[in-house]
Amino acid sequence: MNEWHLIERLQQGEEAAFKIIVETWQDMVYNTALGIVQQPEDAEDIAQETFAQVYQSVRFFKGESKLSTWLYRITISKAMDHLRRAKRKKRFAFIRSLVGDEQEADLHPPDFHHPGVVLDNKESAAVLFKAIAKLPDNQRIAFTLHKVEGLSHQEIGSIMDATVSSVESRRSGRRF
Protein backbone atom coordinates (compact mmCIF):
# COMPACT_ATOMS: atom_id res chain seq x y z
CA MET A 1 0.00 0.00 0.00
CA ASN A 2 1.32 3.43 -0.84
CA GLU A 3 2.18 5.77 2.04
CA TRP A 4 0.01 8.64 0.86
CA HIS A 5 -3.07 6.40 0.63
CA LEU A 6 -2.37 5.20 4.17
CA ILE A 7 -2.07 8.81 5.40
CA GLU A 8 -5.34 9.76 3.68
CA ARG A 9 -7.08 6.85 5.37
CA LEU A 10 -5.71 7.94 8.74
CA GLN A 11 -6.72 11.54 8.08
CA GLN A 12 -10.25 10.25 7.57
CA GLY A 13 -10.10 8.65 11.03
CA GLU A 14 -9.64 5.04 9.96
CA GLU A 15 -8.16 3.20 12.95
CA ALA A 16 -6.96 0.29 10.79
CA ALA A 17 -4.64 2.73 8.97
CA PHE A 18 -3.16 3.87 12.28
CA LYS A 19 -2.60 0.25 13.30
CA ILE A 20 -0.73 -0.38 10.04
CA ILE A 21 1.45 2.69 10.60
CA VAL A 22 2.31 1.61 14.14
CA GLU A 23 3.04 -1.99 13.13
CA THR A 24 5.15 -0.91 10.17
CA TRP A 25 7.28 1.74 11.87
CA GLN A 26 7.27 0.87 15.60
CA ASP A 27 10.71 -0.80 15.54
CA MET A 28 12.24 2.12 13.63
CA VAL A 29 10.74 4.66 16.05
CA TYR A 30 11.73 2.68 19.16
CA ASN A 31 15.29 1.99 17.95
CA THR A 32 15.82 5.63 16.98
CA ALA A 33 14.60 6.81 20.38
CA LEU A 34 16.71 4.18 22.13
CA GLY A 35 19.80 5.22 20.20
CA ILE A 36 19.33 8.78 21.46
CA VAL A 37 18.08 8.36 25.05
CA GLN A 38 19.76 4.99 25.75
CA GLN A 39 17.10 3.88 28.24
CA PRO A 40 14.65 1.17 27.08
CA GLU A 41 11.75 2.37 29.23
CA ASP A 42 12.23 5.96 28.09
CA ALA A 43 12.45 4.84 24.45
CA GLU A 44 9.13 3.00 24.87
CA ASP A 45 7.54 6.16 26.28
CA ILE A 46 8.95 8.24 23.43
CA ALA A 47 7.64 5.75 20.86
CA GLN A 48 4.17 5.99 22.40
CA GLU A 49 4.36 9.80 22.46
CA THR A 50 5.51 9.78 18.83
CA PHE A 51 2.58 7.70 17.63
CA ALA A 52 0.17 9.72 19.76
CA GLN A 53 1.42 12.87 18.05
CA VAL A 54 1.12 11.22 14.63
CA TYR A 55 -2.50 10.36 15.38
CA GLN A 56 -3.28 13.85 16.69
CA SER A 57 -1.48 15.83 14.00
CA VAL A 58 -1.88 13.68 10.88
CA ARG A 59 -4.38 16.17 9.46
CA PHE A 60 -1.49 18.65 9.17
CA PHE A 61 0.76 16.22 7.26
CA LYS A 62 0.95 17.54 3.70
CA GLY A 63 3.08 14.81 2.17
CA GLU A 64 6.02 17.12 1.46
CA SER A 65 8.31 14.42 2.87
CA LYS A 66 8.11 10.68 3.21
CA LEU A 67 6.11 9.32 6.14
CA SER A 68 9.28 7.79 7.60
CA THR A 69 11.01 11.20 7.47
CA TRP A 70 8.11 12.75 9.37
CA LEU A 71 8.24 9.91 11.92
CA TYR A 72 12.00 10.35 12.39
CA ARG A 73 11.53 14.09 12.94
CA ILE A 74 8.83 13.56 15.56
CA THR A 75 10.83 10.81 17.29
CA ILE A 76 14.00 12.91 17.41
CA SER A 77 12.07 15.90 18.72
CA LYS A 78 10.44 13.81 21.45
CA ALA A 79 13.77 12.18 22.36
CA MET A 80 15.58 15.52 22.58
CA ASP A 81 12.75 16.97 24.69
CA HIS A 82 13.11 13.97 27.00
CA LEU A 83 16.88 14.51 27.32
CA ARG A 84 16.38 18.20 28.12
CA ARG A 85 13.83 17.33 30.83
CA ALA A 86 16.18 14.68 32.23
CA LYS A 87 19.06 17.18 32.39
CA ARG A 88 16.86 19.64 34.28
CA LYS A 89 15.80 16.91 36.73
CA LYS A 90 19.42 15.85 37.18
CA ARG A 91 20.52 19.44 37.90
CA PHE A 92 17.65 19.87 40.34
CA ALA A 93 18.48 16.58 42.07
CA PHE A 94 22.14 17.61 42.30
CA ILE A 95 21.17 20.94 43.86
CA ARG A 96 18.87 19.15 46.29
CA SER A 97 21.74 16.84 47.29
CA LEU A 98 23.95 19.88 47.94
CA VAL A 99 21.44 21.40 50.33
CA GLY A 100 21.15 18.16 52.26
CA ASP A 101 18.03 16.53 50.87
CA GLU A 102 17.85 12.87 51.90
CA GLN A 103 17.43 11.67 48.32
CA GLU A 104 20.74 11.45 46.50
CA ALA A 105 20.97 12.37 42.82
CA ASP A 106 21.35 9.46 40.43
CA LEU A 107 24.15 10.74 38.24
CA HIS A 108 25.09 7.38 36.70
CA PRO A 109 22.64 5.79 34.26
CA PRO A 110 22.28 2.00 34.25
CA ASP A 111 24.05 -0.11 31.64
CA PHE A 112 22.66 0.41 28.19
CA HIS A 113 21.71 -2.40 25.80
CA HIS A 114 20.44 -1.79 22.27
CA PRO A 115 18.40 -4.60 20.64
CA GLY A 116 20.46 -4.38 17.43
CA VAL A 117 23.76 -5.17 19.14
CA VAL A 118 24.97 -8.79 19.12
CA LEU A 119 25.66 -10.27 22.55
CA ASP A 120 29.42 -10.61 21.87
CA ASN A 121 29.63 -6.87 21.23
CA LYS A 122 27.60 -5.68 24.24
CA GLU A 123 30.63 -4.44 26.20
CA SER A 124 32.08 -2.53 23.23
CA ALA A 125 28.63 -1.19 22.39
CA ALA A 126 28.17 0.11 25.95
CA VAL A 127 31.42 2.08 25.62
CA LEU A 128 30.35 3.36 22.21
CA PHE A 129 26.90 4.47 23.38
CA LYS A 130 28.43 6.26 26.38
CA ALA A 131 30.67 8.17 23.96
CA ILE A 132 27.70 8.94 21.67
CA ALA A 133 25.81 10.35 24.66
CA LYS A 134 28.58 12.93 25.12
CA LEU A 135 28.27 14.29 21.57
CA PRO A 136 26.48 17.57 20.89
CA ASP A 137 22.82 17.00 19.98
CA ASN A 138 23.15 17.45 16.19
CA GLN A 139 26.18 15.16 15.99
CA ARG A 140 24.48 12.53 18.18
CA ILE A 141 21.38 12.54 15.99
CA ALA A 142 23.35 12.38 12.72
CA PHE A 143 25.62 9.62 14.05
CA THR A 144 22.71 7.59 15.40
CA LEU A 145 20.68 7.86 12.21
CA HIS A 146 23.69 6.93 10.06
CA LYS A 147 25.43 4.23 12.09
CA VAL A 148 22.57 2.74 14.12
CA GLU A 149 19.64 3.21 11.73
CA GLY A 150 21.72 2.84 8.55
CA LEU A 151 20.31 5.91 6.79
CA SER A 152 22.14 7.67 3.96
CA HIS A 153 23.48 11.20 4.35
CA GLN A 154 20.75 12.39 1.98
CA GLU A 155 17.99 10.81 4.11
CA ILE A 156 19.51 12.28 7.27
CA GLY A 157 19.70 15.69 5.60
CA SER A 158 16.02 15.48 4.80
CA ILE A 159 15.16 14.47 8.37
CA MET A 160 17.38 17.12 9.97
CA ASP A 161 16.58 19.76 7.34
CA ALA A 162 20.29 20.09 6.54
CA THR A 163 22.57 19.76 3.52
CA VAL A 164 24.41 16.52 2.83
CA SER A 165 27.78 18.19 3.50
CA SER A 166 26.49 19.51 6.83
CA VAL A 167 25.31 16.02 7.78
CA GLU A 168 28.69 14.55 6.81
CA SER A 169 30.50 17.06 9.00
CA ARG A 170 28.09 16.45 11.91
CA ARG A 171 28.39 12.69 11.60
CA SER A 172 32.18 12.75 11.48
CA GLY A 173 32.48 15.20 14.36
CA ARG A 174 34.25 17.91 12.37
CA ARG A 175 33.29 21.45 13.24
CA PHE A 176 31.58 23.53 10.59
| Residue 48 to residue 134: CA distance in whole angstroms | 26
What DSSP designation does 149 have? S
- Amino acid 112: pLDDT: 55
Q: Is the pLDDT reported for residue 95 higher than 80?
A: no
Give residue-wise pLDDT tens across range 112-122.
556 655 555 66
Question: How is the chain split into domains, by residue range?
Answer: 3-104
Rounded Cα distance, 137 and 27, in Å: 22
- The structural architecture, per CATH, of the domain 3-104 is Orthogonal Bundle (1.10)
34-70 pLDDT, tens per residue? 999 989 999 999 999 999 999 999 988 888 889 999 9
Q: Would you put residue 88 in left (φ > 0), alpha (ψ -120 to 50) or beta?
A: alpha
Q: What percent of the chain has pLDDT over 90?
A: 37
Q: What angle in degrees, to the nearest 10, is found between the helix axes of 3-11 and 67-98?
A: 70
CA atoms 139, 142, 144, 146: torsion sign: negative
Within the chain, residue ranges assigned H as helices are: 3-11, 15-37, 40-57, 67-98, 122-133, 137-143, 153-160, 164-172
DSSP H or E run through 2:
none
pTM for the whole thing? 0.69
